[in-house]
Structure 1
Amino acid sequence: MKNHSLPLELIEEILLRLPVRSILRFKCVCKSWFSLISEPQFAVSHYDLAATPTHRLLLRSDYYFYAQSIDTDTPLNMHPTTVNLLLPPPSPPRDPGPSNFNHYYDSRFQPEILGSCRGFLLLYYITRREIILWNPSIGLHKRITDVAYRNITNEFLFGFGYDPSTDDYLLILVSTFFITPPEVGLHVFSFKTCSWKEYYPSLSYDDCGNKCRAGSLLNGALHWLVFSRDKKRHVIIAIDLIQMILFEIPLLDSLISEKYLIDCLRVIGGCLGVCCWVQEREVTEIWVMKEYKVQSSWTKSFVIPNYDEYIHFSPICITKDGGIFGSNNGGKFLKLNKEGEWLEELLYGHYEWSYCHNLQSALYRESLLLIPGVIGETSEDDDQK
């Protein structure tokens, strides 16, 4: 009888081009497949070679002890494409008494989402002073305890990114104060060394509110919408994650006027985009920088009527059919078509009353990646201090 099995090298080439979920199922085929797929280099190669990466949206609410992962390119309330994921918990209290046990599951102990990068989500437990690097696709996480900066989301602009030159994941904190310039402008935490570095004696920028505190990752840099004290206008600042160089990206001059109220900065369809409230017309406009760093390439891409459902609409991503997915100031998650017209809305937890309770979201790419130098040879429950 002839042996029709394929060479392992050819099997590897096929597996490298399959979606993450299919590959995880194929780990059960045989020992050789399990060993191959479990290799860290296989995960890196799969990330680099993926022809059509799969992106999903993670939603987290204070009123649930799990997060929902959804495919924004399918009907939002389609149960087969929605996955419930248990959030990595904070470290147990030192005194595991009954009262502390209840606090452990209190909504105040739910994590803030600081950002996503290369399939990882960065979570922050304020009450435990902990940050957790989590790959929801493979269920592994790493906890970093005793973080020096206690109020990351209230006192800093923050961002999460990756430095390919050192194969290291970075947490970036930018100090902004309205009155006194800070002694240190930029704080950088390395997940490889579990240590902080500081750059820049001071920065002359003010933040633009909670919607602009989270950095937008694009082209190896993190971006924030800020108000320049020197120029007396809104600008985009960016931090190059390899060289740690700070630079500015100008908005279109016409956007810096009383006509526009700039609401937030996002990455829209692989470009920087700003969402603006046009006061005289009562519409929301989304402007996209088609060519990176080129001021003249800012283009109006969406005009959204401000009906009750759309007031202060904040975009999250472009869908495959050219529509747009985002949220409004009431906490509803909406999918609109190319013309900005309502298509459907998401019912978080599949219950109508629950979608507006402090929902947080993050778009992430499914990946098999492990954390270099941290997760590869340690269990997901080990602490790194």
Structure 2
Amino acid sequence: MDRLPQELVIDILSRLPISTIMQSKSVNRAWRNLIRNQVFVNMHFKRMVENDPSFILQIRDQPIQSQLYFGDFSSHPNDRNVTIITKKLTMLPLLTNFHLVSSCNGLLCLRGTHRSLGLICIYNPFTRDSIELPKLIAKGPSHQVGVLGFGLDATTNKYKVVEVSYKRIYRASPSHVVRPVNRLAPQIIAPSSIDSEVHILTVGKGSPTRRNLGNFPFHFMCQKSQVLVNGKLHWISYPRGSKAYLAIMSFDLGNEQFKEVPRPDCISSDRQFHELVVLRGCLSAVCFDYDNEELEIWVMKEYDVKESWVKEFSIGTYLPKILQPDERESLDSSMFYMPKTCMRVLCQLRSGGILLEYKIKALFVYDPHCRTFQNFQLTFEGIPRCFTLAVHVASLNWIDTFIEAP
């Protein structure tokens, strides 16, 4: 290929899977330099975005819970049960225990746990580039720290991690004192409120920085999926002191402002959305219709326009075949009729199918046209009982690389 024009070589190599490209680095120095070329990195990334998404999967079983795997949905046969062989990824020695937070442009945000508590790291599992971010140290047992999201600020071409710290505030008022049955035992003061602060960690050329944006009057619900739309991260939140009203809050990575996004009209006292997800670039909300026992997916066709919310999909109850017979019997009763606690919407494939996760143990695709389900069989080194999964676009990108919008 040395005699071919560089533009043609870049076009050919950019169509290869990420694992094949990484192997080709060892061919010679010219190929290694070509793969680091900015034009090649952008072209390869654009082609990966056009394909069905890949995924990064973290095993949650002991003792291998700090191991990541890579899987690809870009091609599979049209049969009812598909086996996807995953690739074991090389891990960072500085993270002995971690939690997979999210993925953006091929980069992973990892949060340390146990012995690595407080550590946040940005990592490309294929190029093995990594950077450790400044720690926010919890101040006492009443102080908790969590990572909300990770994304690219296109206005500055810098990555930002949104972190929140919660602190329980105790006030010695009669209404917050728990009196023990035994009069000799000490009285316990229950927390009267929870104070939350938002921190921004900025990563780009130069050293990473941390800033405190101050208090935030909403509580964030635990969310498994990264929801990044129009340069804004999104969460389900509720006002401080009240869980009756659920709101969709956004955070603009450019101007670093929070804003409430209009909710779909389906929301009522007996029908609340419990998950946000991105489907084909659109903000979507998932709720459960108890009357029809269906999982509903509402899609905002035009961002920030309330009237553009439409119910796009209704998915009936389903139990993947991969589950063990004894577990199927237990789920056939109460849990089977509570799919909102079991099913998680991941993404929409190019075929139009909806990729779902069941009880962090199984993956399957729902075909909205035929209203049928297709099972996926995941193959590992060992058979894990449960996992954490993040939709991922594999790339050669790093924090100092300018990724053009596809």
After TM superposition, the score normalised by the length of structure 1 is 0.77
How far apart are the structure 2 equivalents of 1:4 and 1:157? 47
Equivalences for residues 8-47 of structure 1 within 5 A: 8-16=6-14, 19-40=17-38, 42-44=40-42, 46-47=44-45
Find out whether 1:182 has 2:195 as its counterpart. yes
Q: Match for residue 255 of structure 2?
A: 243
Unaligned runs of 5+ in 1: 92-103, 374-385
Summarize the Cα distance change of 1:70–1:294 in structure 2 as closer, same or farther, 3 Å threshold: same
Shift of 1:113: 1.1
8 Å contact from structure 1 (residues 58, 70) kept in 2: yes
Matching residue's letter, 2:68: A
Summarize the Cα distance change of 1:38–1:351 in structure 2 as closer, same or farther, 3 Å threshold: closer
Shift of 1:161: 0.6
8 Å contact from structure 1 (residues 175, 203) kept in 2: no
8 Å contact from structure 1 (residues 239, 245) kept in 2: yes
Q: Match for residue 180 of structure 2?
A: none
Equivalences for residues 1-385 of structure 1 within 5 A: 5-16=3-14, 19-40=17-38, 42-44=40-42, 46-47=44-45, 52-53=50-51, 55-63=53-61, 64=64, 66-73=67-74, 74=76, 78-79=83-84, 82-90=86-94, 109=97, 111-127=98-114, 128=116, 129-136=118-125, 138-144=126-132, 147-149=135-137, 155-156=145-146, 158-174=148-164, 180=193, 182=195, 184=197, 186-192=198-204, 193-199=207-213, 201-208=214-221, 210=222, 212=223, 215-228=226-239, 233-255=245-267, 257-308=268-319, 311-312=339-340, 313-329=343-359, 331-338=361-368, 340-347=371-378, 349=380, 354-355=384-385, 357=386, 359-372=387-400
Identity of aligned residues (%): 25
> SS state of the match for residue 152, structure 2?
strand
> SS state of the match for residue 10, structure 2?
helix
Deviations 1:120-157 (A, max 9, x none): 11111122132221212x24131416621459x96446
Deviations 1:256-303 (A, max 9, x none): x13313221111222111111222222211111122111111121221
Summarize the Cα distance change of 1:16–1:323 in structure 2 as closer, same or farther, 3 Å threshold: closer
Shift of 1:59: 1.1
How far apart are the structure 1 equivalents of 2:272 and 2:49? 38
Matching residue's letter, 1:335: V
Matching residue's letter, 2:83: M
8 Å contact from structure 2 (residues 49, 393) kept in 1: no
Shift of 1:248: 1.4
The structure richer in helix per residue is: 1
How far apart are the structure 2 equivalents of 1:139 and 1:27? 11
> SS state of the match for residue 296, structure 2?
strand
Deviations 1:157-200 (A, max 9, x none): 6100112333221110245679536363x21011233221122x
8 Å contact from structure 1 (residues 271, 292) kept in 2: yes
8 Å contact from structure 1 (residues 19, 54) kept in 2: no
> SS state of the match for residue 193, structure 2?
coil
Matching residue's letter, 2:291: E
Unaligned runs of 5+ in 2: 169-191, 321-335, 402-406
8 Å contact from structure 1 (residues 117, 364) kept in 2: yes
How far apart are the structure 2 equivalents of 1:270 and 1:36? 31
Summarize the Cα distance change of 1:347–1:27 in structure 2 as closer, same or farther, 3 Å threshold: closer
Summarize the Cα distance change of 1:26–1:290 in structure 2 as closer, same or farther, 3 Å threshold: same
8 Å contact from structure 1 (residues 122, 133) kept in 2: yes
Summarize the Cα distance change of 1:5–1:316 in structure 2 as closer, same or farther, 3 Å threshold: same
Summarize the Cα distance change of 1:269–1:182 in structure 2 as closer, same or farther, 3 Å threshold: same
8 Å contact from structure 1 (residues 20, 367) kept in 2: yes
Shift of 1:364: 0.9
| Higher-Rg member (1/2) | 2
Summarize the Cα distance change of 1:245–1:365 in structure 2 as closer, same or farther, 3 Å threshold: same
How far apart are the structure 2 equivalents of 1:342 and 1:191? 41
8 Å contact from structure 1 (residues 157, 213) kept in 2: no
Shift of 1:340: 4.9
Shift of 1:234: 1.7
Shift of 1:224: 0.6
How far apart are the structure 1 equivalents of 2:22 and 2:249? 39
Matching residue's letter, 1:68: Y
Q: 4+ runs of 1 displaced by more than 4 Å? A: 16-19, 48-51, 175-179, 229-232, 307-310
8 Å contact from structure 1 (residues 157, 214) kept in 2: no
> SS state of the match for residue 266, structure 2?
helix
